[in-house]
Amino acid sequence: MVKLFVKHVLGVNNNHDGLYGKTSAYYGTVEQQGRLTLHLHLLLWIANSLSPQEIRERMMDKNADFRQKMVAYLESSHKGEFIDQTMDSVINEVNFKSSNPTYKDPTQTLPNIPPPACTHCINENCNQCKDSKSWWETFNDIVNDLLLKSNVHKCGNHCLVNGTCKARFPRPLIPETKVDDNTGYIQMCKGESWLNTYTPALTYLLRSNSDVTSLLSGTALKAVIAYVTDYITKTPLKTYTIFQTIKDVFDR
């Protein structure tokens, strides 16, 4: 599955670019949790991208076209809120739909292929345009449903240390993306304090929890590389832990 993800989503050794652009390199590892579930930690480099310092210098020019394009790219790559809705409205909508016997849990279904895109401007009388519009509306609804089920953090014994969440939730709300003119620092828009940052298309494809972040500083890059490397060298689970987990699963 990871090989398919790298090939088709990241575009490695393929005839098309990846979801985030042309992939230059990637580095990652699959971790097994105590519950025996697997998940991927991956660091991605985009081809021809500038260094964090070069990006910082260009972002400090508030009149530069680069700043607007960089912000537009980042906002299209990952989001910190539901698509065009608040969490409360998504909860109400999902509760209403799930009460219908025909409702299908999106975590238990596969994604649908989008219809062919029209080559002309949107036309209300074009059936292909109507199909495309309907598909995207369904896409948004499914992504919001998936986010509610898998990306909303819920604090508990797994993350609380002396009453503080190790995952740093709730996160501060930021109504719009801001760029500091003096430092070039980019503060991304964040509309939901309990939601992981995600990529809509990735959530639609994976149908599970994901956390997508753009690393725009050397410090952040080094920290994540160290974090991923730690998983590669992590001591395997003890045998008694594995058997206890299996027992817990069957007891349920």
Which structure tokens are listed for 77? Answer: 């790559």
Q: Please report whether residue 185 resides in a domain.
A: yes
- The verdict on 151 and 236 lying in the same domain is no
- The verdict on 209 and 222 lying in the same domain is no
* Domain limits for position 86: 80-213
- The verdict on 87 and 201 lying in the same domain is yes
Cα separation of 97 and 91, whole Å? Answer: 10
- The verdict on 201 and 244 lying in the same domain is no
pLDDT at res. 245:
60
**Residue 177 CB partners (closer than 8 Å, separation 6+):** 71, 74, 75, 186, 187, 188, 189
Task: Say if CB 213 and CB 197 are below 8 A apart.
Answer: yes
- The verdict on 129 and 244 lying in the same domain is no
Q: Please report whether residue 247 resides in a domain.
A: yes
Q: Is residue 50 within a helix (H) or strand (E), and if so which, with residue range?
A: none
Q: Please report whether residue 144 resides in a domain.
A: yes
pLDDT at res. 87:
97
Q: Please report whether residue 70 resides in a domain.
A: no
- The verdict on 145 and 200 lying in the same domain is yes
pLDDT at res. 252:
52
- The verdict on 91 and 155 lying in the same domain is yes
pLDDT at res. 9:
96
Q: Give exposure, 4-33, as e/b (b: 16+ Cβ within 10 Å).
A: ebbeebbbbeeeeebbbbebeeeebbeeee
pLDDT at res. 19:
97
All residue ranges of the chain with pLDDT < 70 are 34-35, 217-219, 221, 228-229, 231-252
Q: Is the peptide bond between 52 and the residue preceding it cis, with omega within 30 degrees of 0?
A: no
Q: How many domains does the chain have?
A: 2
- The verdict on 208 and 108 lying in the same domain is yes
pLDDT at res. 247:
65
User: Positive or negative, the Cα torsion across 166, 108, 18, 119?
Assistant: negative
- The verdict on 126 and 157 lying in the same domain is yes
Q: Please report whether residue 58 resides in a domain.
A: no
